[in-house]
Chains A and B, each alone.
Chain A
């Protein structure tokens, strides 16, 4: 079966003035559809950069990266944006909800950007599964961290993305809420075969994944 994510000798170098800072030094990674993968490693090892490249937020310096059959190296910014709109869902450590919108509007805007219009059945199903029905008319400042993260997950999966990319989704949560969020990610993966790639520092969080990949100094050191 064709992997949903395949990277080969993936490199990313940032330029800070005249200094070149390598963030990824040749990452080889294969992720199968429906897999729940955790990427762990110390700060600065390149986890977030890898996630940003796989989500089409930034382009690699060299190497190959195929995501759902699309070669990012050959895609321009507009193509990657379109790809992200239809195939990727993001969950961030800081929730990243739009502060002026309610939970309902934060979720609905993803559907609006995708352009397929509001799907009430999908919306209800996601809201029920994540247990946020009571909070739909609340704005982010009126919700707890755990509730905000559940809304962020709802927003990420509302358009049925091929891949869910989660960047330290429990990093800003207490133990109880962390467990709730992890259970939800696990449930999404099990119930809908949602492919999830999660970055985390937390070994307990990584433990819920099917597979754990360790990174150090811009490389995968164990798989």
Chain B
């Protein structure tokens, strides 16, 4: 009977119902999308580094494993010393350039020969390797998202680059320029930001890392496996704080809308609450009825939010193919739980207030 009354109440005010459901759906969608985008960005970035094919990453002391954040170059001569270490099959230096005009892009300055040795070489969708100092290679996702064609000029870092080739994605960055050009542009002659080290066999990784530690004691040396495990928002304090803030904002929005919705509802239904009280409805009965209504709104909102998020993901990826959004059942569950709890807490005070209404005052409410 209470369920029927709750259902009738929800249908009686379609606009209020729609707004409440929308708020919960936005809350759920916001949590899922923000987390999905963050983890998607990290996972995709990690996969691209894994895709280089190296077994060990060597970075200067104090460098961040989040490549875009530091450029701290090292002398390129180190590459020769790394190559002399037993079981090392190849060393590819790269200099990072972070481009912020027309979007955020990490550009690898690479030495094509050594990079090909470590990676096994690019797969070209069209065009070919660098021919001139100001040539650039772009991956297929970037080319698709920006409608880039071979021979076209692109402007990066205040320089114009000719697109020499479009390559298969998944080898570190989306954009590659010659190492020498990157060094000249950043004034870091004979320097590199990272060395990708390939072992003759992946089973020698630990042995090679030990040798590199002896050679470069203060340097940051990570196996690619270790790097992959570090690439999560939990290891990036700023990212974690960002996620926490975004989730909190989403929960507060859902909480406030449900609070306001139920508060308005009980004001509007004061007389009806008085009627229920005159029939002998207990405080618990009234609280339960209001919480059920909020709960039902939240459930519908959660379902709409989850469905909407999957739809939004499709739309976003169609518009921005270089983005990666990892939606997981786990986070759908967490977002649903947050929305449910937020909604019920939001409805609790109005429910309590309704239960405490004086029946005589409530019955005379106009």
Contact = CB atoms under 8 A, between A and B. Distances in A.
Physical interaction between A and B: yes
A167 to B, nearest CB: 9
Chain B interface main SS type: helix
B4 A105 contact: yes
B285 A55 contact: no
Interface in B263-281: 271-272, 274-281
Interface in B147-185: none
B249 interface: no
Given A84-B280, A98-B272, A112 B359 contact: no
A184 interface: no
A201 interface: no
B1 A108 contact: yes
Nearest to B4: A105
A149 to B, nearest CB: 14
A78 B360 CA distance: 15
A58 B278 contact: no
B279 A58 contact: no
B235 interface: no
Contacts of B239: none
Contacts of B359: 57-58
A98 B275 CA distance: 8
Nearest to B276: A113
Nearest to A86: B280
A32 to B, nearest CB: 24
Interface string B250-292: 0000000000000000000001101111111111010000000
Nearest to B280: A85
Interface in B1-34: 1-2, 4-5, 8-9, 11-12
Contacts of B272: 98-99
Contacts of A98: 5, 272, 275-276
A189 interface: no
B358 interface: yes
B106 interface: no
Interface residues of A, number: 27
Contacts of B280: 81-82, 84-86, 88, 113-114
Nearest to B278: A90
A101 interface: yes
A113 B12 contact: no
Interface in A76-108: 78, 81-82, 84-86, 88, 90, 92, 96-101, 105, 108
Contacts of B12: 99-100
Contacts of B285: 113
B63 interface: no
A101 B279 contact: no
A58 B277 contact: no
B304 interface: no
Contact of B1 (A58, A97, A105): A105
Which of A55, A96, A155 has most B Cβ within 10 Å?
A96
Contacts of A86: 280
A113 B5 CA distance: 12
B323 interface: no
Counting from the closest, the 10 A-B pairs by CB-CB distance are A85-B280, A100-B8, A112-B1, A84-B280, A100-B12, A57-B359, A96-B275, A90-B278, A113-B279, A113-B281
17 contacts: A58-B359, A88-B280, A90-B279, A92-B278, A96-B275, A96-B278, A96-B363, A98-B5, A98-B276, A99-B272, A100-B9, A100-B11, A105-B4, A105-B8, A108-B1, A113-B281, A114-B280
Given A78-B283, A81-B282, A101-B5, 6 more contacts: A78-B282, A81-B280, A82-B280, A85-B279, A105-B5, A155-B279
